[in-house]
Structure 1
Amino acid sequence: MLGRFKYLVIIPLLFGLSGCSVILQKSNPNDLDKIDNLSSKLEQERKAREELLRAKNELEEQLKREVEEKQIKIEMLNKGLVITFVDEILFDSGKAIIKKNAYTILDRVADVLNNQVRDRNIAIEGHTDNQPIVKSQWKSNWELSTARATSVLHYLTDNKNVDPQRLSAVGYGEYRPVDSNDTTAGRQQNRRVEITVLPETIIKQKKK
């Protein structure tokens, strides 16, 4: 009776093991490639985040006074490392010409862009409040915000040798506020330029 019981136990066990073997053999070979690709992507994202965090720390050190005076904000967001300038630190009201005393600030930012995150794409955004343009060359806040973003782009490329392949500029006018336009303080926060260092690396275009 005992011997018969042993056979009853062994047979299901062998059947179970053979079943596992069949499942493994039927696995799609592409699954391993997918796992490898996912692992590689996660590693790239980890390295990108570490690189952006180092750049953030360096910027906070270089722009300590401006950050303390709330003229500049530096933060890590889902889209990347975002450097936000209150518009008055860079421009006079209704203007898109960078103030001369803002050059040193942009110089320090450019140094980090060129040395800490030299292979990352950079997006420059111009934003305004919802107050209509009065006595200005600009037709609307669209044009003003775009011109300001482009001015910053040209300063970085023309004066600080930031690779133009890394850069893009766009103006959103009044349509992406971060605060209420019903208060003076809120409108001040909405009038801004953002430089975002993106996690993605640049793809170099071959010169013809």
Structure 2
Amino acid sequence: MSKKRHEHHEEHADESWLLPYSDLMTLLLALFIVLYAASAVNTAKLEQMSQAFKTAFNSGISIFEKGDITRDNDMKKRSAENELKHNNGTTKKTETREELMQQEQQNLEQLKKDLDKYIKKSGLSSQLDTQLNHSQLLITIRDNALFPSGSASIKPDSQKLAKAIAQMLDQYPGYEILVAGHTDNQPIKTTEFPSNWELSSQRAVNFMRILLENSKLDPKHVSSTAYGEYRPLQSNDTEAGRAINRRVEVSILRNYVEPTDANSTDRTLSAIANDGKQQP
């Protein structure tokens, strides 16, 4: 009987080794997790926390207070740096703009002197006029100096005038040049020109084409427009007034105007229109 019981007990192997083995595996897993976590530590944050602890133990300031103070100091420092950069940039930009405006004024004044000298030398004082204002340098040419009556074909002698103006303009590149045609209010109705609109437009285009024969002028900066009879300088009730209203205007537009005008092209164009109306 005892023999049978002993033999039955030997059939089951001793499995007590599994317990320490499973404990060992658990410890190894925990070790690897700790090692992985330690390898991914943010050293910057660890250093910041270390400094916070040192300050807290040395001065009695809490860790949270230390963090707030550090953030406040960093924000103040960045704010001061940004303000300094902004102020320096604004000052530099203002100085540069003022210098450019001054240089532009000198350029346009010199161009006006050159034009006035040419007009006087050529005996064209009664037919040409120049005006420099806050928005443009305006060259006004009476129509009888350029065109036969009711025609848009520029007189051969007057082509020299257009070429001379173009030669002076090419010395000051980068300016927008606008050629505008004007007529009086006397109606015109021909096959070529159904109205004063077409006449003033074609005159402006023809004058612009002669300007652009000068290869030094950039076509992208040159344009033409037509106003017909609708922007007179004088009353159309007299022949003298109508003669003044028939004209071609060449506007050399400023690149730098007063800040109140610099934000709007419409304001600049409006100022140009008003300047034209105020001429004598």
TM over 0.5: yes
Structure 1 distance, partners of 2:175, 2:119, is: 21
Length, aligned pairs only: 175
Correspondent of 1:188 among 231, 234, 243: 243
Which residue identity lines up with residue 146 of structure 2 in the other structure?
A: L
Structure 2 residue 158 is the aligned partner of structure 1 residue 102: yes
Structure 2 distance, partners of 1:79, 1:141, is: 27
Structure that is richer in strand per residue: 1
Which residue identity lines up with residue 35 of structure 1 in the other structure?
A: T
The CA deviation at 1:51 is 0.2
Query: Corresponding residue for 1:118?
Result: 173
Mapping for residues 29-108 of structure 1, pairs under 5 Å:
29=84, 30-64=86-120, 65-68=122-125, 70-108=126-164
Unaligned runs of 5+ in 2: 1-79, 257-280
The CA deviation at 1:160 is 2.3
The CA deviation at 1:108 is 1.2
Q: For each residue in 1:82-134, what CA deviation from the matched residue of structure 2 results, as whole angstroms up to 9, or x when unmatched? A: 1110011111111111110101111211110112x122221111111111114
Contact 1:178 1:190 in 2 (8 A): yes
Structure 2 residue 206 is the aligned partner of structure 1 residue 178: no
Query: Corresponding residue for 1:130?
Result: 185
Q: Secondary structure at the match of 1:194?
A: strand
Structure 1 distance, partners of 2:123, 2:226, is: 24
Contact 1:127 1:192 in 2 (8 A): yes
Structure 2 distance, partners of 1:125, 1:174, is: 12
Structure 2 distance, partners of 1:93, 1:108, is: 23
Structure 2 residue 210 is the aligned partner of structure 1 residue 155: yes
Correspondent of 1:165 among 191, 203, 220: 220
Query: Corresponding residue for 1:200?
Result: 255
Q: Secondary structure at the match of 1:160?
A: coil
Which of 1 and 2 has higher RCO (CA within 8 Å, sep 6+)?
A: 1
Mapping for residues 1-12 of structure 1, pairs under 5 Å:
none
Structure 1 distance, partners of 2:245, 2:135, is: 19
CA RMSD of aligned residues (A): 2.2
Higher-Rg member (1/2): 2
Structure 2 distance, partners of 1:79, 1:145, is: 23
Identity level (%): 34
